[in-house]
Structure 1
Amino acid sequence: MDLSQVKMVVSDMDGTLLNSKHEVSNRFFELFEELQKRNILFVAASGRQYASIVHKLEPIKNDILVIAENGALVKEKEKELLVTPIQNSLKSSLLSKIDKIDGAHAMLCGKYNAYFDGKSVPFLEQLKEYYASYEIHEDFSTVTDEIIKIAVYHNISAENHIYPAMKDLEDQIKVKVSGLNWVDLNHTDANKGFALEKLQNEFGISSNETMVFGDYNNDLEMLGKAKYSFAMENAHQNVLKVANFKTSSNNDFGVERILEKLLKS
């Protein structure tokens, strides 16, 4: 595996760059400095909101590119490179459908704020890990922000309890199981692969010069945009099938181990 041509590294956050305690390792920040010296771009690509991603990567936030909300928002520092909101005509019908799913809790995700309703307050401590900037509205109809994603939380299994009820809408909306407890709803054009292709075109970097790390179904499209696509050992079976390579788990420095090989090349 010749990694000497890699010019862009793209990593998912939860289950990938972050360990199970939702931490970024000190080793990663050291390796990032070496990537910078070699003019290799780093992209954080997550289902998380922008504010949460840059909070996790605070020391390097001004030196990275960010794909947030599964590709619905792409930013370079404060410059917006891509915004793909959900059609307003769909929003209310999606919320009505979610409301009928037992144990489901919807969050509206705007460009800069997340919005929870009263039903989500009991889960606020869990939700705050993923949303650094949020407001609580008793009624979602009072939210006037442009919505770029609807995240749906289930405390047991989103894949078993939420996805089956929403998958019939896949011709209208992107439905992605993004973690054990999460299903994300985005515009059909909003996915990490579409966003990554935008960045590749912007910076003149080919798929043969791109390295991608992922672990869950919302990473599938972006894994397809890179020759050097890596599934984490802890990845969903769908990701293990699609990725060209495999690395160790997020708790065993899977990303860092490959970056060390990249730097040696």
Structure 2
Amino acid sequence: MVVTDMDGTLLNPNHEVSERFFELFEALRKKNIQFVAASGRQYNSMAEKLETVKDDTIFIAENGALVMHREKQLLVNPLMPAEVGTVLKSVKGIDGAHPVLCCNQKAFVTGHSRPFVKLLREYYSCFEEVNTLESIEEQVLKVAVYHFEGSETYIYPHVKHLESQLKVKVSGTHWVDFSNRYAHKGHALEMVMKDRGISKNEVMVFGDYFNDVEMMQLSLYSFAMANAHPEVKKVAQFETASNEAFGVEKVLEKLVG
């Protein structure tokens, strides 16, 4: 089994999947190696990026809150309404923070910042602008919060106290994600591995940020990208080239021989 994060890992800096990867995907399939895409992204957005191979891909979406295969839900791990309220209250006072409610088929965002709404289109192919997030009654899988200047400095210090109740992850340079304590990529991947009868020495994992750590710990062959956070490199067993330099593809070329 090959498992890879999307942004900063499989996707290049322009958020594209390379043609070489799709060629390697066919080689993986011929060798009966299952491919798993694991991301903080919305499922719809992930499926669009991997449209031509989506039927043969297992998707771990929303940082592990949702697992999909051939349009079928294999796992869903939502936040409770009270937990959503707690997160929104905590981030409300953070200047420059932009929260997104990530639901099963759609995300919700206030339209107060046009630059943010424009940026959001890259990560969420289906979202709706509303006047207030507190009014949303749909089941919420994750709350994602964006800051243009940086997540580690401008968001995380204000919300780290929530770690006793929720899974709080700095998932990228600008993002912090809030999920159910059991909704993370590692929990989702563990379920997929058990379902497929895959052991630690049969899975290869690629990632670049903190939300990839738990799934890296499930594999004897974990690779941090050259562009990964320094702390993530300490967790990974190996390092590969950056996402810009086709780090995933270079390892997969050796794997398929």
TM-score range, shorter chain: over 0.9
Q: CA deviation at 1:135?
A: 0.7
TM-score (norm 2): 0.98
- 1:238 corresponds in structure 2 to 231
SS in 2 for 1:250: coil
CA contact (8 A) 1:103 1:155 kept: yes
Q: 1:217 aligns with which of 203, 210, 221?
A: 210
The list of structure 1 runs, each at least 4 consecutive aligned residues, that deviate by more than 6 angstroms after superposition, is none
Matched, 1:22 2:44: no
Q: Which moved more, 1:134-143 or 1:207-216?
A: 134-143
Give a deviation string over 1:132-158, Cα, whole Å, max 9, x none.
011111111332211000000000011
Q: CA deviation at 1:121?
A: 3.5
CA contact (8 A) 1:71 1:191 kept: yes
Q: CA deviation at 1:120?
A: 4.0
Give a deviation string over 1:51-104, Cα, whole Å, max 9, x none.
000011111111100000000000111111110001111111210111111110
Give a deviation string over 1:149-171, Cα, whole Å, max 9, x none.
00000000111010000101101
CA contact (8 A) 2:111 2:117 kept: no
Q: 1:38 aligns with which of 21, 31, 34?
A: 31
- 2:86 corresponds in structure 1 to 93
Q: Aligned partner of 1:115: which letter? A: F
SS in 1 for 2:164: coil
SS in 1 for 2:117: helix
- 1:4 corresponds in structure 2 to none
Matched, 1:123 2:116: yes
- 1:133 corresponds in structure 2 to 126
SS in 2 for 1:23: coil
CA contact (8 A) 1:18 1:250 kept: yes
- Which ranges in structure 2 are unaligned for 5 or more consecutive residues? none
Q: Aligned partner of 2:194: which letter? A: N
Matched, 1:49 2:42: yes
Q: Aligned partner of 2:7: which letter? A: D
Q: 2:106 aligns with which of 91, 107, 113?
A: 113
Count of paired positions: 257
SS in 2 for 1:80: strand
Q: CA deviation at 1:118?
A: 2.6
Q: Aligned partner of 1:95: which letter? A: L
CA contact (8 A) 1:105 1:119 kept: no
Q: Aligned partner of 2:236: which letter? A: A
- Which ranges in structure 1 are unaligned for 5 or more consecutive residues? 1-7
Give a deviation string over 1:93-122, Cα, whole Å, max 9, x none.
210111111110100000110100132443
SS in 1 for 2:170: strand
Q: Kindly report which structure 2 residues correspond to 1:245-260, keeping only aligned pairs within 5 A, or say none.
A: 245-260=238-253
